[in-house]
Amino acid sequence: MTIYNTTETELLEERIGYTFRDKRLLKQALTHSSFANEQKINKWDDYERIEFLGDAVLELVSSDYLYRENPRLSEGELTKKRSSMVCEPALAFCARDIELGKFIFLGKGEEATGGRQRESITSDVLEALIGAIYLDGGLSCARAFINRFVLSDLENKQLFYDSKTILQERVQKKGEGKLHYILVEESGPEHDKQFRVEAMIDDRKIGEGCGRTKKHAEQQAAYQALLSENRING
């Protein structure tokens, strides 16, 4: 009896529009170290090595895209733009679009502590999935996946990437008051902290977010505030 849920992996293939020739690569990309330890799987069969490769493929494809699409941006501006597009919160944002968390093979302990929603895990698995597609189908297939799920809908994603800056500019333009962020909760072990932050204008809450760092939580809070504002104005 297999320890992997084949139905789930087939559903993911359908969702991303790519069918693996070597199913072992997909399973590896979805296998967290906690699951590998629990099931006594070879350490080299979790997603960490393949994530390393996926990270490099993502950097190449996103760099190529930005270079071609922004002929007047300097090297420094391109680097800054790429960093915002492939940082942990941004990749976790993309992973949520395909509900990647539900397909990850996690150990019981990691599952119990909310591992499926943890940005550090979902962003890593997204990179591992890119690495698996690259190994299975080559650069063209990996590029197609990245174009569809990472480099698509960039206007909305740009709102997320630059949410703190955009929110600050809007608040200043409207003269609404002082924008600041309040840490309302800090939880989890030292190596895996979770922060919950509220975005405030003076004493009025306008957004809330969670993340592995205060900076990531603030970004989420700013993004939620922008989405709420857009819904009201829309």
Cα atoms in the 13 Å half-sphere on the side-chain side of 136: 24
45 has catalytic annotation: no
Flag whether pLDDT at 12 surpasses 70.
yes
Q: Are residues 36 and 137 in the same domain?
A: yes
Sign of CA dihedral 65, 66, 67, 70: positive
- Domains: count for the chain: 2
Cβ proximity of 181 and 200 under 8 Å: yes
Q: Are residues 149 and 169 in the same domain?
A: no
CATH assignment at residue 180: 3.30.160.20
Flag whether pLDDT at 232 surpasses 60.
no
- Residue 210 exposed, middle or buried by CB count within 10 Å (0-12, 13-18, 19+): middle
CATH assignment at residue 143: 1.10.1520.10
Q: Are residues 149 and 191 in the same domain?
A: no
Q: Are residues 44 and 86 in the same domain?
A: yes
Q: N- to C-terminal Cα distance for the chain?
A: 52
Cβ proximity of 79 and 67 under 8 Å: no
Q: Of residues 110, 119, 124, 127, which has the active-site annotation?
A: 127
Cβ proximity of 50 and 132 under 8 Å: yes
Q: Does 158 fall in a domain?
A: no
pLDDT band at 15 (very low <50, low <70, confident <90, very high): very high
Cβ proximity of 44 and 56 under 8 Å: no
Distance (Å, rounded) from C-alpha 149 to C-alpha 98?
Answer: 8
Distance (Å, rounded) from C-alpha 174 to C-alpha 93?
Answer: 28
What's at 65, amino acid-wise? Y
Q: Which residues pair with 11 in a beta bridge?
A: none
Looking only at the bridges linking them, the beta strands covering 204-211 and 179-187 are unpaired
121-143 pLDDT, tens per residue? 999 999 999 999 999 999 999 99
Q: Are residues 182 and 148 in the same domain?
A: no
Q: Are residues 147 and 34 in the same domain?
A: yes
55 has catalytic annotation: yes
Share of the chain above pLDDT 90, in %: 60
Q: Residue 1: its pLDDT value, please?
A: 34
Q: Which helix (H) or strand (E) holds 186?
A: strand 179-187
Cβ proximity of 82 and 59 under 8 Å: yes
209-231 pLDDT, tens per residue? 988 788 888 988 998 998 888 66
What's at 143, amino acid-wise? R
Q: Of residues 46, 51, 55, 88, which has the active-site annotation?
A: 55
Q: Residue 152: its pLDDT value, please?
A: 85
- pTM reported for the whole predicted model: 0.78
Q: Residue 158: its pLDDT value, please?
A: 72
Q: Are residues 125 and 172 in the same domain?
A: no
Q: Are residues 119 and 170 in the same domain?
A: no
Distance (Å, rounded) from C-alpha 24 to C-alpha 5?
Answer: 12
Q: Which domain holds residue 64?
A: 6-153
Q: Are residues 134 and 191 in the same domain?
A: no
Q: Does 74 fall in a domain?
A: yes
